[in-house]
């Protein structure tokens, strides 16, 4: 869900969009850019009081962030191998715990405002795990108002300065997407609302309250009230609204020549995997849905990147409510900023690294779209060396090719044939560019789908385990007969267990459907992969029959380069999964030892017992 990509490759350096965040924001109509910022929140007073929490995040200047190794003491193996978990990342902007919401705003959302007053759209996302500060960043407090009120204040300031020329009308709405249902956050007990496609206005939510605002004074209260209406789970108080996405939309209509700009400010649901929260019952299902929405969002932004290359690309907006709603803010002349939130505590290390990896990929992809080479997210050592070597070779051969070409002009250099059969222009830069982009998209989609399937499987396993224990307990209650006595505690327990059983079964069924859809998408993806491969093969053959020798070698390298790149990305994914599994196992084993110790069983006795049992 984090593979965001900017839509238009820029010709200048990788900070192009970072610099753009600081400009007035009204240049470059028709192109889009994604600013990626990261923000680390401070330890809260409660966390500081606990002796075991340490701040492990350091922001070096305004771009570099370091996450220190969270382990106080190393285990023997790590110490011997000098393994450290310290990680460094670079972003368009990085904010440490002393940064105010205004600091963050100045470098992210602010750049979007002038566009909105000129009839363009913009979208600001707060991304990150539950408790990392997304809502704080978006809404904020009276002393430190967040992106939502600050945007509105700036809009009104700008309106005042332009009031001689134009009149404006500003309206706001605030809604929530929870479990793929839409609720109005500006009214009490909102029923779930429909999402309709209006041919002129795009996605609309009939019945959604839209308030007219004339200044930014009361908006903080309104937002806070709205936020309090977000869906929460009564069983886990600290997971407040972590499973819902909240979208504030500010509409600005400018009269004389009527223009409407729209700014969407999105407080996303927690990015942690469903299995990482203490989810039970219906929350498991929510977890799967939330991640689907985040995934859908990433897929759309990536596809939009591809669209800018001129190809008729399908952007899967329809895959989730969130993406349908945000569609207009993501296409055409719109701009996007993402604030990735992390908390600085050592206990949050895994969440922090996951969030930074996602945000990092956003930035990396942006760079690589520009350079038009197949991008590999993180190269595990060997693969990286090979890729770099191949990159050099490819560049060298490209140069040779150019030189060879200048002697013999190509009959129709601009024509592009997907199948690559038109051999005259096989090595046309645009042909290569399209090939690179296709390969990249294809691989990334595959990884996203793998991830989604993995997630669904995880959730299903948990649901099945819980279902089994629910069944066991029900049988137990029914055996004693106590569950038959009206008004008894056992009877009410049995009722709630039956309810839980039904919800778990629903969740499992839904998960199976989703997995079926993902597997179909995976098949389509594999079809596309084969098509790309045959494009390369056919081009190679065609060349071979004409020239023999040298040029097919070039294509072979290209093909090899592609394969290496893909396997490296996949290796990276597998490594990430394996790391997660290992970390989980380590935790479980740690817990087991602690439990045994608490029960008065020594390590030796436990080992002995395990041997006897053949474990």
Of positions 3, 136, 317, 431, contacts ligand ADP by CB under 6 A = 136
Q: Say if residue 590 carries a ligand binding annotation.
A: no
Is 123 known to sit in a ligand binding site? Answer: no
Instruction: Determine if 44 is a binding residue for ligand ADP (CB under 6 A).
Output: yes
Contact between 271 and Mg ion by CB under 5 A: the answer reads no
* Residue 131 annotated in ligand binding: yes
Q: How many CA atoms within 13 Å lie on the side-chain side of 67?
A: 26
The nearer residue to ligand ADP, 139 or 540, going by C-beta atoms, is 139
525 binds, among Mg ion, ligand ADP, none (CB under 5 to 8 A by kind): none
**Number of residues lying near ligand ADP (CB under 6 A):** 14
Residue 361's binding partner out of Mg ion, ligand ADP, none, with CB under 5 to 8 Å set by partner kind: none
460-465: long-range contacts at Cβ-Cβ below 8 A with a sequence spacing of 24 or more? Answer: 460/508, 460/511, 460/512, 460/515, 462/274, 462/275, 462/279, 462/284, 463/284, 463/504, 463/507, 463/508, 463/511, 464/508
Q: Is 129 a known ligand-binding residue?
A: yes
Report d(CA 269, CA 128) in Å as an integer.
8
| Candidate residues 96, 128, 261, 329; the one interacting with ligand ADP per rule CB under 6 A | 128
User: Which of 108, 135, 271, 442 touches ligand ADP by CB under 6 A?
Assistant: 135
Stretch in the footprint of ligand ADP (CB under 6 A) among 40-48, 110-118, 493-501, 540-548: 40-48
Report, in Å, the least distance between residue 545 CB and ligand ADP.
60
The DSSP bridge partners found for residue 202 are 198
**Closest alpha carbon to 305 in 445, 441, 435:** 441
Binding mask 235-254 for ligand ADP (x = CB under 6 A): -------x------------
Tokens of 34: 């994604």
Cα 273 to Cα 150, 176, 279, 291, 409, distances in angstroms: 31, 20, 10, 7, 55
121-128/334-343 β-pairing: parallel
Told to check if 131 binds ligand ADP by CB under 6 A, we report yes
If you search the block for the tokens 């990249």, which residue do you land on?
A: 440
- Ligand-binding annotation for 8, yes or no, is no
Which residues partner with 128 through β-bridges? Answer: 341
Cα dihedral across residues 9, 10, 15, 18: positive or negative: negative
Binding mask 120-159 for Mg ion (x = CB under 5 A): --------------xx------------------------
Q: Does 134 bind ligand ADP (CB under 6 A)?
A: yes
DSSP assignment string, 561-592: HHHHHHHHHHHHHHHHHHHHHHHHHHHHHHHH
Q: How far is the CB of 241 from ligand ADP (least distance, A)?
A: 7
In this structure, what is the dihedral angle of CA atoms 155, 159, 161, 164, given to the nearest 10 degrees?
170
25 annotated as ligand-binding: no
Site for ligand ADP in 328-347 (CB under 6 A): 341
- The CB-side HSE value for 536 (13 A sphere, CA atoms) comes to 23
Residue 134 CB, shortest distance to Mg ion, in Å, is: 5
| Residue 135 annotated in ligand binding | yes
Interface positions, 260-279, toward ligand ADP (CB under 6 A) = 270
Residue 287 binds which one of Mg ion, ligand ADP, none, with CB within 5 to 8 A depending on kind?
Answer: none
Question: What is the Cα–Cα distance from 132 to 137, expressed in whole angstroms?
Answer: 9
Q: Which is nearer to ligand ADP, 358 or 427 (CB)?
A: 358
Helix, strand, coil percent values for the chain (each to nearest 5): 55, 15, 30
User: Interface residues with ligand ADP (CB under 6 A)?
Assistant: 41-42, 44, 128, 130-136, 242, 270, 341
- Binding-site residue positions: 128-135
User: Interface residues with Mg ion (CB under 5 A)?
Assistant: 134-135
- Binding-site residue positions for ATP: 128-135
């Amino acid at each position: 869900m984090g593979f965001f990509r900017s839509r238009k490759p820029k010709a200048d350096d990788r900070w192009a969009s970072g610099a753009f965040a600081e400009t007035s924001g009204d240049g470059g109509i028709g192109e889009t850019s994604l600013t990626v910022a990261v923000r680390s929140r401070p330890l809260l007073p409660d966390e500081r009081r606990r002796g075991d929490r340490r701040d492990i995040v350091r922001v070096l200047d305004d771009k570099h962030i370091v996450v220190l190794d969270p382990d106080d003491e190393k285990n023997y193996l790590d110490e011997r191998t000098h393994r450290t978990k310290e990680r460094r990342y670079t972003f368009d902007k990085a904010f440490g715990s002393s940064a105010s919401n205004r600091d963050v705003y100045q470098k992210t959302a602010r750049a979007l405002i002038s566009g909105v007053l000129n009839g363009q759209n913009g979208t600001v996302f707060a991304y990150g795990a539950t408790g990392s500060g997304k809502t704080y960043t978006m809404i904020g407090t009276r002393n430190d108002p967040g992106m939502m009120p600050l945007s509105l204040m700036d809009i009104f300031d700008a309106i005042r300065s332009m009031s001689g020329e134009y009149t404006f009308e500003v309206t706001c709405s605030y809604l929530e997407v929870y479990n793929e249902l839409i609720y109005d956050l500006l009214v009490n007990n909102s029923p779930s609302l429909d999402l309709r496609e209006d041919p002129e206005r795009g996605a609309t939510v009939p019945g959604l309250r839209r308030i007219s605002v004339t200044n930014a004074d009361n908006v903080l209260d309104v937002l806070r009230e709205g936020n309090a209406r977000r869906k929460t789970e009564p069983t886990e108080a600290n997971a407040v609204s972590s499973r819902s996405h909240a979208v504030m939309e500010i509409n600005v209509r400018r009269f004389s020549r009527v223009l409407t700009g729209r700014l969407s400010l999105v407080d996303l649901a927690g990015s942690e995997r469903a299995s990482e929260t203490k989810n039970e019952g219906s929350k498991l299902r929510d977890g799967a849905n939330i991640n689907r929405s985040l995934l859908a969002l990433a897929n759309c932004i990536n596809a939009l990147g591809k669209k800018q290359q001129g190809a008729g690309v399908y952007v899967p907006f329809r895959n989730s409510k969130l993406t349908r709603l945000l569609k207009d803010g993501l296409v055409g002349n719109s701009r996007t900023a993402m604030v990735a939130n992390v908390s600085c505590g050592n206990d949050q290390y895994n969440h922090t690294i996951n969030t930074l990896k996602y945000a990092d990929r956003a930035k990396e992809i942006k760079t690589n779209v520009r350079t038009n080479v197949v991008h590999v997210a993180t190269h595990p050592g060997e693969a990286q060396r090979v890729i770099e070597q191949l990159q050099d070779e490819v560049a060298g051969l490209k140069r040779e090719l150019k030189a060879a070409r200048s002697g013999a002009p190509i009959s129709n250099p601009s024509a592009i044939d997907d199948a690559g059969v038109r051999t005259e222009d096989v090595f046309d830069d645009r042909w290569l560019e399209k090939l690179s982009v296709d390969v990249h998209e294809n691989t990334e989609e595959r990884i996203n789908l793998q991830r989604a399937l993995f997630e669904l499987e995880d959730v299903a396993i948990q649901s099945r385990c819980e279902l089994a224990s629910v069944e066991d307990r029900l049988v137990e209650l029914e055996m004693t007969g106590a569950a038959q006595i009206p008004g008894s505690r056992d009877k009410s327990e049995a009722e709630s267990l039956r309810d839980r059983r039904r919800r778990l079964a629903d969740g499992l069924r839904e998960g199976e459907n989703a997995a079926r859809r993902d597997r179909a998408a995976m098949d389509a993806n594999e079809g596309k992969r084969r098509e790309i491969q045959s494009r390369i093969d056919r081009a190679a053959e065609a060349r071979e029959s004409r020239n023999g020798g040298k040029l097919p070698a070039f294509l072979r390298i290209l093909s090899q380069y592609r394969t290496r790149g893909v396997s490296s990305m996949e290796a990276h994914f597998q490594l990430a999964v394996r790391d997660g599994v290992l970390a989980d196992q380590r935790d479980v084993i740690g817990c087991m030892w602690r439990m045994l110790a608490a029960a008065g069983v020594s390590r030796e006795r436990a080992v002995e017992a395990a041997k006897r049992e053949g474990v």
